[in-house]
Amino acid sequence: MSYATKRYWFYAFVTLFTFIVPFITVNDNHLLLLSFEKLQFHFMGLAYDVNEFYIMPFLLMFLFIGIFALTSILGRAWCGWGCPQTIFRTIYRDLIQGTLLDLRNSTNKQKRMNTSPLENKIKIAVGFLLWTLIAITASTNFIWYFVPPEDFFTYMQHPEDHLFIIIFIATTAAFLIYDIVWMQESFCTYLCPYSRIQTVLYDDNTKHVVYNTNRGAQECTACEACVKICPTHIDIRQGLQLECINCLGCADACNTVMGKLGKKSLIEWGSQKSVLHELKSSIYSKRNIMYFVAMIGSIIFAAVFAAGQEPVLVNINKTNEQYKAHDGIVSNNYIVNIHNTQKQTYTYDVKVEDKNFHIDSFKELSLKADGMRKRVLVISTHQNLSQSNRRDTVLKLKLTIFAKENPKISVDKEISFIYPRAQ
Ligand code: SF4
Ligand code: SF4
């Protein structure tokens, strides 16, 4: 099977996967969602509130180190096999303009389209229209990672109330049209930062498209099939270049030419070590091992923090007044903010562990799913707790906030209680 066929199957899988992911939910949470409206991040079926975004740095670390490791091992496999830019260009240039409309020669990407005949002009307009429809579909799919499909389709019943969504889709689609129709591969060469870092991440073990210079001098027929097919208009025989997106079109082309002569392709997918020196390449270089350790570390940290996820989010702040003292009773006031992150309504109450203290005022709170409200809490004591004649005493108190319907939904918080000096 040619690399091109394998790539097309992979593109189909990636496209399907990207479409399906926003619809998959686990316990009413999405696999991947960043909701600015609800200030939530969903990952693998777990929901994180904005105050719990502390797992984000670990996930970002994993993502970035993962990209470094992937590039160090497989070169720019992402560019040729997973990047939306490459997939979209293949759809527009090869599928729409090449196969469907017969405007292009699929084996010679250097040849310009003949735009003069009226028939071709109409075909170009049809191709543009088809791509516009695909760009709008892709942009809609993209927004589902920020506005989940169930909300999106409800909102679209009254689009005039949700103009931001329409503007977002229109802007993204307009960019995709400009990028794919006019910018083309210049995006990879001049705009994409990823192509710039490849050289620092490559070593002799990195797999990428390699022209076998050892055999080339003797065996290359100079047919230029590899040059003609290249979407980024380079000649791989001149070595690794920034423009190369590792699509392996040149390897397929040379394989066809060399195959007819009963020989192996001069252009291969392999490392410098394996292709030029015929040695086995290894992924266990010192650098890669460090990447793996860092990736495992960031996942462990993310999992530890995720496991410590609180079932209800509580924020307690002391009011400006330090304390009140009256008839031997000292009280402190607090503002308690409770956010019910559960999927159903719960009634929340508060208790204090220390028997010397009691709650003077707190009205229990009934909160719907995702509801959030503030309450005043007053705690008092009639004990003489001061140790000092010179300073106020700061005591630490443990407070439990719990759902009356389910004792498992509770969280402990430590608060400061200020007691006046003995005088
Ligand atoms: S040199 Fe080969 S692998 Fe690189 S972009 Fe051109 S055709 Fe694709
Ligand atoms: S396709 Fe192969 S034989 Fe033809 S020019 Fe390229 S490297 Fe040489």
Q: What is the pLDDT of residue 52?
A: 66
Atom of ligand 1 at shortest distance to CA of 229? 7
| Three-state secondary-structure class, residue 260 | helix
pLDDT confidence of residue 138: 96
* Position in ligand 2 atom list of the atom nearest CA 222: 5
Structure token pair of residue 258: 């060399």
What confidence score (pLDDT) does residue 423 get? Answer: 64
Choose one of 74, 198, 226, 245 to mutate for the ligand 1 pocket test, by most ligand atoms within 8 angstroms of C-beta. Answer: 245
CB 204 within 8 A of CB 281: yes
CA of 212 relative to ligand 2 center, distance in Å: 10
Interval 57-72 mean pLDDT: 87
| Ligand 1, pocket-test mutation among 109, 195, 234, most atoms within 8 A of CB | 234
Pocket test for ligand 1, best of 81, 107, 238, 246 (most atoms within 8 A of CB): 246
> What is the separation, in whole angstroms, between the first and last Cα of the chain?
90
The letter for the amino acid at 244 is C
Average pLDDT over residues 66-82: 87
Distance 267 CA to ligand 2 centre (A): 8
Ligand 1 close to Cβ of residue 134 (< 6 A): no
Ordered DSSP codes for 318-331: E-SS--EEETTEEE
Q: How many helices (H) and strands (E) does the chain have?
A: 14, 16
Nearest CA to ligand 1 atom 8: 247
Looking at residue 189, its pLDDT comes to 83
In order of 246, 350, 398, the CA distances from 411 in angstroms are: 52, 10, 10
- Cα–Cα dist 180/162, whole Å: 28
- Say if residue 51's pLDDT is above 70: no
Check whether 128 has a pLDDT greater than 90: yes
Q: DSSP for 200-212?
A: HH--TT--EEEE-
> Which has more pLDDT, 209 or 36?
209
Give per-residue burial for 57-73: e unless 16+ CB within 10 Å, then b.
ebbebbeebbebbbbbb
Q: Name which residue sits closest to atom 6 of ligand 2, judged by CA.
A: 226
227 CA closest ligand 2 atom index: 6
By CB atoms closer than 10 A (0-12, 13-18, 19+), residue 49 is middle
For residue 55, is pLDDT > 80?
no
Nearest 5°: the CA angle 33, 36, 38 is 85
- Answer yes or no: is the C-beta of 227 below 6 A from any ligand 1 atom: no
Distance 64 CA to ligand 1 centre (A): 25
- Ligand lying nearest the CA atom of residue 249: 1
Provide the token pair at 46. 């777990």
List residues bridging with 392 in a β-sheet: none
Q: What angle do helix axes 194-201 and 56-74 make, rounded to 10 degrees?
A: 60
Per-residue DSSP letter, 392 = P
For residue 39, pLDDT beyond 90? no
In percent, the amount of the chain with pLDDT more than 90 equals 37
DSSP 127: H
Give residue 233's region: left, alpha or beta (phi > 0; psi -120 to 50).
Answer: left
Cα–ligand 1 centroid distance for 23 (angstroms): 35
Which protein residues touch ligand 2 with a CB less than 6 Å away?
A: 220-226, 237, 253-254, 257, 266-267
Q: Pick the atom of ligand 2 nearest to 219's CA.
A: 3
Q: For residue 333, how far is its CA from the centre of ligand 2 (angstroms)?
A: 81
CA 129–ligand 1 middle distance (angstroms): 28
d(CA 93, CA 88): 8
**Lowest model confidence (mean pLDDT) among 171-180, 250-259, 388-397:** 388-397
- For a ligand 1 pocket test, name from 108, 187, 247, 254 the mutation site with the most ligand atoms within 8 angstroms of its C-beta: 247
- Domains delineated in the chain: 3-199+287-299 (no CATH), 206-278 (no CATH), 313-419 (2.60.40.10)
Best residue among 266, 267, 268, 275 to mutate for probing ligand 2's pocket (most ligand atoms within 8 Å of CB) is 266
CB of 77 closer than 6 A to ligand 1? Answer: no
Tokens 């409206």 found at: 37
Ligand 1 atom index nearest CA of 236: 1
Q: What tens digit of pLDDT does each residue of 131-168 get?
A: 999 999 999 999 999 999 999 999 999 988 889 999 99
Q: Residues with Cβ < 8 Å from 365, sequence gap 6 or more?
A: 338, 347, 348, 349, 373, 375
**Cβ neighbourhood burial of 163 (10 Å; 0-12, 13-18, 19+):** exposed
Mean pLDDT, the chain, integer: 88
Which has more confidence, 139 or 328? 139
Mean pLDDT of 263-273: 90
